[in-house]
Chain A
Amino acid sequence: MVEDMMMRYSIDSDLSQVRELAAAFQSFSEEEKLDNELTGQLELILVEAVNNVIEHAYELKQGSTVDAQFEAFHSKVVITISDRGLPVPEAVRNTEIDMPDMTDLPEGGWGLGLIYALADHVKHYMVDGLNVMVLTKQRVAAQIS
């Protein structure tokens, strides 16, 4: 019987530390024997979510904490990101976001769209000043065409 596994990791609200968090996720993925394609997609979801926290919740100010929790179950992986920064605006909370129009040659704005495109389920909530984002993905990599 495969046991469910969990890992917790925290970083400072510093973009340069996001790759450290990604490396922690890589270790978790190796322990769980997730395939490379699935790992890559989960890593992208994780990085985009944490970048959003640092850029929007903490407005790029260092010195605050971003917490991440990785859980592996039989059929799914769950990534939970939490912070005590500015709340997620109501307009984007639990609302699927489209990608920017490529013909506009955008230089950003893809983060939430990528998260919704790759995760099977996305949930935002707030409790006692803590913003929580729960990202769930089935243990099967999406085929991108």
Chain B
Amino acid sequence: MKLNIDKDTAFSIVSINESRLDASVAPEFKQQMEKIIADGNNQIILDISELTFMDSSSLGATVAVLKAMGSQGKLIISGASGVVLDLFKLTRMDQVFTLVSDVEEAREHFVETVY
């Protein structure tokens, strides 16, 4: 399970460098993400643009990640498309997660307004 983490000042971009996220790797994905969060990263853009397939076990692991981030955490999911996006919509989890088209759009969710 290849995850790449790229740290910015206010957030981290975690990219899944795989084409499939399924039941066989969902536990590993959850474990790796929980470690990333435990290391102090709780403002995360999860880039899933390389995924062409995701099943409901992996969606469940992603929900577990969301819960692990706690009330002060923020998780933005970028790049869901095709049947991956269908999965979020059919399960209505597109109303739970913040889904954006790409990382640039995701960055806007971490811009602080200075008054």
- Chain A residues close to B by CB (< 8 Å): 15-16, 18-19, 22, 36-37, 40-41, 43-44, 47-48, 51, 55, 99-100, 102, 105-108, 110-111, 113-114, 117-118, 144-145
Q: Counting CB contacts under 8 A, is B15 at the interface? A: no
Contact mask for chain B residues 63-103; partner A; CB cutoff 8 A; 1 contact, 0 none: 11011000000000000001101110111110110000000
Contact A47 B22 (CB under 8 A): yes
Q: Which of A41, A55, A105 contacts B83 (CB 8 A)?
A: A41
Beyond A15-B22, A51-B55, 5 additional contacts (C-beta under 8 Å) are: A41-B86, A47-B53, A51-B56, A107-B60, A144-B89
Which B residues touch A105, using CB under 8 A?
Answer: 63, 66-67, 96
Total contacting residues, chain B, CB less than 8 A: 28
Which B residues touch A117, using CB under 8 A?
Answer: 90
Q: Which 6 A-B pairs have the closest CB atoms?
A: A40-B83, A107-B60, A110-B56, A16-B24, A15-B24, A108-B60
- The main secondary structure of chain B at its interface with chain A is helix
Contact B66 A44 (CB under 8 A): no
Contact B56 A22 (CB under 8 A): no
Q: Counting CB contacts under 8 A, is B32 at the interface? A: no
Q: Report the Cα distance A117→B61, complex, angstroms.
A: 21
Q: Which of A19, A40, A114 contacts B24 (CB 8 A)?
A: A19
How many A-B contacts if CB must be within 8 Å? 80
Q: Counting CB contacts under 8 A, is B20 at the interface? A: yes
User: Contacts A18-B23, A110-B59: A44 and B91 contacting too (C-beta < 8 A)?
Assistant: no
Q: Counting CB contacts under 8 A, is B57 at the interface? A: yes
Contact B23 A107 (CB under 8 A): no
Contact A108 B56 (CB under 8 A): yes
